[in-house]
Amino acid sequence: MKGSIAFRLFVVIATVLLLFLVIIFLAFQVLLSLYLTTRSQAALSGTAAQIVDSLDGNTMEGLLALEETGESGERVLSQAAMNNNFQVLILEHGVERFNSVQNSALSLITKAVAGSDRWGEFLVKYDNGKEPHVEYYVYERAVGSFTIEVRTPMQVLVQGAGYVNRFIIWVLLLALLFALMLAFLFSRQFAKPLIKINNTAKCIAALNFDSRIITYRKDEIGELAASVNEMSDKLKNAIDELRANNEQLQRELARERETDTMRKKFVADVSHELKTPLAIIQGYCEALSMNVTKSDEKRRYYCDIITDETKRMNKLVLDLLDLSQVQSGTYKLDRVDLEIDKLLAGIAGKQREIMASRGIHFTSHAAPARVFADSGRLEQVVNNYLSNAAAHASGKFNVRLTGEAAPDGRYTVTVFNTGPCIPDEQLDKIWDAFYKADVSRTRDEGRHGIGLSIVKALLDRHGAEYGVRNVAGGVEFYFTVNTLEDGDAGASGEQARPQAEAPSGDTRD
């Protein structure tokens, strides 16, 4: 990827290496030329010195004579030329006396002076008799009337430099290739943790905090990776805390909205419940004040109606106060060690004559057990269940109260009445305050639809399970509490919600 740090780092390193190798190549060119020139000068002057040293007391004339006759088996001049592959000439006053290369140009034109040493000088000469001109690198040294001239073609030096240059170029190319490979590997290795850090940062930006940077580096990049990991952890904790606070706030807002809705509904329901009796009381009071009737019997009838409606309103207000008290967070149950079978037997004794007066066949049975509960409030719950059952009993008009102890330490109180089942759409609503499906019937019986709401609030405070289910021949309301043999009922679980089972056709309040 062209924009990646690895690519950019590779390009920078490759550029630096290329410039470095170019500088090395140029330096080699300068140094190589200087080296070859210096070496050629040393070889040329060394050949001349070898010839001079070979005189060993002889004169140049004697050396030339020996060279020509071959006496002593030594050809010093020819050997000196062959050893260094040079052309050696001996001139006397400009006249050739010896030439190691036959038929070679004697007189060369000087092109430039290339330097000198303590015995002679170095010249660049060329042969004007040939095309193209052949240049020579020449060293001239005077020995008395003689001049020793040692030559080598410039082409030899150029070819040597060319060979060396080609070798250097290949070496530099191989070095460049190897350096580029190392630069590529280094840039990838260097950028690898940075790429990991970048990917982790992208995950953090997407609120994904599961990605971690694993590195064992101890340098600044390792410290950066550790800082990113630490930042990810802190952001995760902060966001989790914000989410938890937001969820809690949403729940609180939902509860506030629900409470506000319930408050408005409650006020509307109370207003509706009070509207009818107040209208009746107002009507009969106006009738009495206007002397609509002269009959004392009619007047007593009007007063009885006013009294009955006043009692209904008083009962409604007391029930509302009771419900408000139970639902408040400050209300405390007066729990005691209670023999629940005796409590149920006492309730059954009180209800038996009431049920008989309404033509209802009432039966009861309670297994012995001890529970930890508020005796008065538990009696209120059972009485509400029985009152509700009596109001809705039909058919055989049977109502049954039972208490059963289970082996798991739970005690279930059940109230059954014959009659139609409860419709599905009303199962959850019957526990709501002021819910009534048959308004005329409940009003005639002095019922306002608060009884089961009080039951729900009381059983919630006891931490009991409760509900309603449709059974063969009727409907059954129940609640379950823990017995003392299985532990303190006062520490029993969380508040339960109403349990309901499938139904079809009645109403409860």
458, 431 Cβ separation under 8 angstroms: no
The residue to which tokens 């920078």 are assigned: 12
Pinpoint the residues of the chain covered by CATH 3.30.450. 5-161
Q: Whole-prediction pTM value? A: 0.45
| Number of CB atoms found within 10 A of residue 74's CB | 13
Residues 239 and 251: their CA atoms lie apart, in Å, by: 18
The residue to which tokens 């079809």 are assigned: 504
Local confidence pLDDT in tens for the 509 residues of the chain: 566 777 777 788 888 888 888 888 788 777 777 777 888 888 888 888 888 877 765 666 666 665 655 544 346 777 777 777 788 888 887 777 788 776 665 567 777 777 888 888 988 887 766 656 677 888 888 888 888 888 888 777 777 777 777 888 888 888 888 888 888 888 777 777 777 888 888 888 887 877 887 777 777 878 888 888 888 888 888 888 998 999 999 989 988 887 788 677 767 767 766 777 788 888 888 888 888 777 888 888 888 888 888 887 887 777 777 767 766 666 778 899 999 999 999 999 999 988 998 899 999 999 999 999 999 889 989 998 998 899 888 888 999 999 999 988 999 999 999 989 888 788 777 887 666 655 444 444 445 567 788 888 888 888 899 999 989 889 999 999 999 864 454 444 434 444 444 333 444 55
* Helices (H), ranges, 4-97: 5-54, 60-69, 76-84
Pinpoint the residues of the chain covered by CATH 3.30.565.10. 333-500
Distance between start and end Cα atoms, the chain: 75
How big is the chain, counted in residues? Answer: 509
Beta pairing class for 146-153 and 87-92:
antiparallel
Residues 346 and 416: their CA atoms lie apart, in Å, by: 18
Whether domain 333-500 has CATH 3.30.565.10: yes
Residues 213 and 259: their CA atoms lie apart, in Å, by: 49
In this structure, which CATH number among 3.40.50, 3.30.160, 3.40.630, 3.30.450 belongs to the domain 5-161? Answer: 3.30.450
H or E stretch at 196: helix 154-205
